[in-house]
Structure 1
Amino acid sequence: MMDGVSAVEKDRAAGVDKKRKIADSSGDSDEKIGETQTDSERCLGQFKKMKSGHQVINYERSLLSAQHYDPNTTEPISSSLKTLAELLSWQLSEASPFNVATVPVSSRRLPLASNPRRTLVCHDMKGGYLEDRFIQGTTVEDPYVFYHWEYIDIFNYFSHNLVTIPPAVWTTAAHKHGVLSMGTFITEWNDGEKVCELFLATEETYRAVADKLVQIAHCYGFDGWLINIENPLRGVAVRNMELFLCYLTKQMHKQMHKQMHKQMHNSLVIWYDSVLDDGSLKWQNELNDRNRVFFNACDGIFTNYNWTESSLQVMTSDPAAQHRLADIYVGIDVFARGEVVGGKFETNKALELVRKYNLSAAIFAPGWVYECLDTADFHQNQDKFWARLSDYLYVHQLVSPLPFVSSFCQGFGRSLYWKGRVEHDGSWFNLNAQEIQPMYAETNLEGGGRLKSRCCSAEAWSGGSSLLLEGHIPCSLAKACARIFSLHVPLAAKTLVSFVYKPSAGLNVSLELRTIDASLCSAPDAPYSSVFPAALSEDNDLVKQFTQNCGRTSDNGWMSRCFHLELSGCALREVYVCVAADDAGHDLDFSCRIGEIMVLDVESLFTPPVSVQSVCLYDVVWKQREGGDEGSPPKVRLNTTLCWCYPTGLARHFCVHWRLRQDPGEPPSPLVLIGRAYSTLYRVVELEVPFAPGLIELLVEPVTREGF
């Protein structure tokens, strides 16, 4: 349900400073939705309590923080803290509400604590905070995105600033896939040594720094810190570094425990292999007696990259490390700098050795495929890179409640689509829009057949990209099946499956769903049952209800099919898309776009919609429009923050619209889409509106995960 939420009334009085009234038409209710709030939500919530009122608007320069908002446009941005003074003076009241990641970490069948061979990705790209710093997205032709989440456990955002706070877009994408997100605390060289002397001087000073790091992670919704000290430590700083690590680790665990209301949740503090127990800076490339004191004080160690096989043997044969081998993350430099094993497209050689000794891995800068190779071939090279590693990586199964939905959007596109139609024409990039990613693979089939799945941004059903299946089916092969999801979704007694696709000519497309008895979920070798659902007819009552709810039509060649499952006590484990030639007597080269797969409880078709509540706006900035066509009506630019309340987890996104009422007695102008919000907060940026008197209405429309 769309809510006509806020209005900006432009006064008819003449004068240099136009008076405009800002009103919240939804009332002053502070009613809370849901039973509990995380501390990240409370961090965000403090900004929602600001009330709208009457203001006299002028064209003065914005007073918004340049650390959190682009000074030219007022767009919200992510940023780091560069000095110790900035860190120690950090206050919750001055935090960026937009950089709060409100998506919790999704569950996986194999929790991090139970995984004996983990994979950490350290994302270090050109100093960090590039296009990904724009929290509401930006325009990029060929952006860097990461989408092989099923292979990794931890995502670390890295820069060379003192305190690297992960942009919320990365934490959101990681959490959707059950991956932990980590920031970085780094000191380097002479300046770093001075910082360490200051904050490690006393118990009071190192606790003050640790407390701030805990508060920052807690507020912004990420899960831990990589501690990277790349300078010597002297005197008391050596002893206090161990105590700092102990205290930071303990406080992170304590806060995460409180945040999840005594449910199990992971937080991590990981030490980078650099400084020794005597304070000297000397990379060991392994865990040994010289750096063990720091390993014992936290959750793990990230080793330097110049190790040899003998280094791995030393660590695995060390009696003191036997119960914590999973906490040893062996560093692998994809750029292959120095004397390293593998690297680049031979990174698999390094990972093979690490797994041979049953150790975890820390893959540093896999963005090499984007930085050093042609960006036009980025997806092809990224798929090639991770395919070579896949034999040594665990495929994690995401645990998802109903509804399970994915349109395969990677968080970018050449256009923005909704239900097969272009909603916005032009390149865009916003990792908040990334949906649950499928498995991308290329397989050679018998008889010379082949089957490949890849991202394609040429056309989409929803978002910016679809999943493209393409290949060759020889006449000797009855069908080819691509596994696109490995997951765990408990099914309802009555479940509806929606499948949107666009096949090439002569191709028959079907689904194979592999399920398991829910009572056997914990058994590692429990047998699967294959279900080949038959599509419901268009006059089926469930199909009619589904179509009525979401307004779905088969536009531009897209085909939409619904399937009804009655599988009591079952869980969905794997989803396959099967393709076959209509004419089995001939070979067939084919392609098929998969636009969306949705699995939902039939009962949700009859659940009444939930409306947006408690909408308000604040931080209004007016700007004069410069230039413009001669003779055209004068215009001004409106910048403001909208916030509202809506139950957590119900919305796929929110559409933010505006319209103009020139006179209260006349009908309003048609709605115009401003953009999509992926949380209950949105910054209207540089919205051109007429200078003439009138009433500007801003409206927020929730779009549920099912697309209703």
Structure 2
Amino acid sequence: MRQGVPVRKRVTRRSVLLTAALAAATGAARASTGSEGTLQPYASYWYPDSLPAGSPGSGIVWRSLRSWTPEGDADLPFNRATVPLAARFTPPPVNATAQAGQARVSALVSFAPTSGNPAQGSATADFYALTHWAYLDELVFWGGSSGEGLILAPNAPVVDAAHRNGVPVLGTVFLPPAAYGGQLRWTRELVRRGPDGGFPLADQLIRVARAYGFDGWFLNAETGGGDARLGADTRDFVAYLRARGEKLRVTWYDAMTLAGDVSWQNELNDRNAAFFEASDSMFLNFDWDRAGLVSSARRAEGRKRGRYELWAGVDVEANGWDTRVDWDAVVPADGPHVTSYGFYRPEWTWKSLPANARTPADFHVRDDRFWSGRALDPAAPDSGAWRPPAASVADRSTLTALPFATAFNTGHGLGWYERGTRLSDSAWNHLGLQDRLPGRRWVVRTTGPRPTVGFDFADAWRGGGSLLVTGGLTAPATVELFPARLPLSEATVVELAHRTDDGSAAVRVELALEVAAARGGPSRLVHLPAGTLRAGGRGWTTAAVRVGRALRERAGGTILSLGVRLGSPDGGTARWRLGGLAVRDTAPPPGPPGAPTITASRTDADGTAALRLAWTAPVRSPGSVRHYELHQLLPGGGRRFLGGTCGHAYYVAALRRAAGEAATRVEVRAVDELYASSAPASVTFRW
């Protein structure tokens, strides 16, 4: 994939890929802390069939996709995603310029190096914790290099977080340019036909996607030197993969043409249309122009396909929101959108921060600016050179059923909290533990000064962070949090876990709800008191508001939006934290998981132990399971948080022995959507 920023001097994507490949290899060497055969499970990657000459670099394992089997994949239990792809709806746009049912957004993201990418997060908060799922329609797990592997399966935390928000995730097949190690034999091996005329490696790609639980493949063939026979075989391979994969998605990158050569067209035309027709969508190279996109849209519709199945590539890897983009060529402000568009490497918001200053809070402020605009207000997005998605694309939501809860956990943190108590001082990241988060960052309605709203990591009710509102509330301020379609009955309760910080003014808190009546008619805005927190901070408190009873809704009503209205009765600067928000009627807690077992272990020289654990889902559980959490039981009855996962296997990297004990007990609990925990199932590790 080459860069095509519309400026006079064009830098090829090849130089970018070379730099990325070298960085990936270096990162893999740093990440590999174990010996050969380490217990640490990593995200999977392969070559189509044959391997490169020589030996792999440190921390890199060369594998052949042709020889892969689920039964022989020891890391599969740690990489398997389990959260189903959620359905979602489109609420009325929050501004006048965002258009529903038109352009969509794809993103190609490199979360970590190809090799040495831990399967279940790691002990650092320095991570691209993507949270703006509301504007995404497709996420590509990007990577690959000739020295590591060319076919990448997304790891489970990324897929579980995306699925919870209704976003499908694609693995990557990357066949690099010959100048940077690509070999045409790998392309030929990938599309080689079997004795029955089928494509054995397409069948393998389907098996991988189904075993790992993700949604399809992004195909990027950039190795030059092919001929018309190879072009035809590749087209048939793509069509076969799409047809045999049934519900799997296939996106084709605009590089190889039907003639078999690599020639980036930057539009849909006769040279690449066959690949578009064989796939679900096409990612157009970055050198597109207005005329080419208009022609591409018409050509797509002439083939009975949608114009929004074309992604116009926007390369933000180097310059982020300073990237020059002809936005009116893609998403005109005064007319219908021409095509969809796709970001290449939006993790710029994380990578471009100084390495010694990449705090989670700093990252999220920058990421919010990228997606919502400089003012951090999607209700009034900027109209400058950078056009954030919030200005053009309608956001989506998955809040359609009870129970719903969020602890504003972004999937990384500087510690772990449960009910306001810090149970771990270790930094961490794991996107699978991420909550559903406000998609509109940040809509605030007030006639006074606008308070600052954002994620903060200095304190939490649960997980790694909380929502912090700071400012002088001289007039009431309504913070809109979630568009929803939640059923409302007389039993419906909304709970808030909140607090004020030391030095804060007193804060009066109300629920701000938009409610639709059961019998139709206009919706209404209601404000229900949730308590007044005294000045100076008194720790966390929980307020339960019986919404259904207060509104006398026996059945059939709907909550259309969730928010809070804040005021400061005595003046002064407020620092108010929202640590948890839940909407429930009745929900029994889950049953305990099946007895965990230690499937492998190693005691290290530093006195810690590494463990692989596995368990089974609860049997006849009265409640549903959101994820599982693991704790170490400490002498005296305390607990230390070890980690969590949505699956049924977990790797503990460093179990610390407490007080010279001869054995350590590890407990596994099932956790539901309201964060209620089951009784523990436990296993003992003997030192």
TM-score, structure 1 normalization? 0.75
Task: Indicate the percent of aligned positions where both proteins have the same amino acid.
Answer: 26
What amino acid does structure 2 have at the position aligned with 1:240?
A: D
Pairing of 1:456-475 with structure 2 (within 5 A): 456-474=456-474
- Equivalent position SS for 1:106: coil
Match of 1:167 among 134, 155, 170: 155
Match of 2:625 among 635, 640, 651: 651
Distance 1:122 1:320 in 2: 28
Match of 1:339 in 2: none
Of 574-583 and 148-157, more deviation after overlay is shown by: 574-583
- Equivalent position SS for 2:511: strand
Compared with structure 1, are the counterparts of its residues 685 and 493 closer, same or farther at alpha carbon in structure 2 (3 Å cutoff)? same
Match of 1:365 among 340, 345, 348: 345
Report the alpha carbon displacement of residue 576 of structure 1 after superposing the two structures with TM: 1.5
Compared with structure 1, are the counterparts of its residues 493 and 444 closer, same or farther at alpha carbon in structure 2 (3 Å cutoff)? closer
Match of 2:568 in 1: 581
What amino acid does structure 1 have at the position aligned with 2:193?
A: T
After superposition, what is the alpha-carbon deviation per residue over 1:348-379, rounded to whole angstroms, capped at 9, x for unaligned? 84445312233111111111122223334322
- Equivalent position SS for 1:137: coil
Distance 2:673 2:447 in 1: 41
Match of 2:27 in 1: none
What amino acid does structure 2 have at the position aligned with 1:282?
A: S
Distance 1:497 1:418 in 2: 19
Pairing of 1:252-651 with structure 2 (within 5 A): 252-253=245-246, 256=247, 267-318=248-299, 320-321=302-303, 323-335=305-317, 344-346=320-322, 349-356=325-332, 357-374=337-354, 375-376=358-359, 377-388=362-373, 389=388, 390-439=390-439, 441-442=441-442, 449-474=449-474, 477=475, 479-503=476-500, 504-517=504-517, 527-535=522-530, 557-566=539-548, 567=553, 568-583=555-570, 588-601=572-585, 603-604=586-587, 607=588, 609-623=589-603, 626=605, 637=609, 639-646=611-618, 650-651=624-625
Structure 1 unaligned spans of 5+:
1-65, 257-266, 337-342, 521-525, 538-553, 629-635, 661-667
- Equivalent position SS for 1:673: strand
Compared with structure 1, are the counterparts of its residues 507 and 446 closer, same or farther at alpha carbon in structure 2 (3 Å cutoff)? closer
Find out whether 1:670 has 2:623 as its counterpart. no
What amino acid does structure 2 have at the position aligned with 1:170?
A: V
Of 427-436 and 445-454, more deviation after overlay is shown by: 445-454
Distance 1:653 1:200 in 2: 39
RCO comparison, higher one (Cα < 8 Å, 6+) = 1
Distance 1:242 1:558 in 2: 59
Distance 1:696 1:424 in 2: 17
Distance 2:193 2:175 in 1: 18
Match of 1:117 among 103, 127, 130: 103
What amino acid does structure 1 have at the position aligned with 2:605?
A: E
- Equivalent position SS for 2:642: strand
Find out whether 1:87 has 2:65 as its counterpart. yes
Distance 1:658 1:430 in 2: 18
Distance 1:482 1:67 in 2: 44
The question of whether the paired residues in 1 share the 8 Å contact of 2:133 and 2:439 is answered with: no
Structure 2 unaligned spans of 5+:
1-30, 51-63, 92-99, 374-387, 677-687
Q: Which has the larger radius of gyration?
A: 1
Compared with structure 1, are the counterparts of its residues 412 and 224 closer, same or farther at alpha carbon in structure 2 (3 Å cutoff)? same
Compared with structure 1, are the counterparts of its residues 284 and 438 closer, same or farther at alpha carbon in structure 2 (3 Å cutoff)? same
Distance 1:349 1:224 in 2: 29
Compared with structure 1, are the counterparts of its residues 648 and 83 closer, same or farther at alpha carbon in structure 2 (3 Å cutoff)? farther
Greater fraction of residues in strand: 1
Report the alpha carbon displacement of residue 270 of structure 1 after superposing the two structures with TM: 0.6
Distance 2:140 2:519 in 1: 36
Match of 1:74 in 2: 39
Report the alpha carbon displacement of residue 309 of structure 1 after superposing the two structures with TM: 1.5
The question of whether the paired residues in 2 share the 8 Å contact of 1:500 and 1:560 is answered with: yes
TM-score, structure 2 normalization? 0.77
Of 402-411 and 74-83, more deviation after overlay is shown by: 74-83
The question of whether the paired residues in 2 share the 8 Å contact of 1:150 and 1:396 is answered with: yes
Match of 2:8 in 1: none
Question: How many residues of Structure 1 are paired with residues of Structure 2 in the alignment?
Answer: 576
Distance 1:241 1:706 in 2: 48
Compared with structure 1, are the counterparts of its residues 555 and 704 closer, same or farther at alpha carbon in structure 2 (3 Å cutoff)? farther
Distance 1:454 1:352 in 2: 30
The question of whether the paired residues in 2 share the 8 Å contact of 1:200 and 1:236 is answered with: no
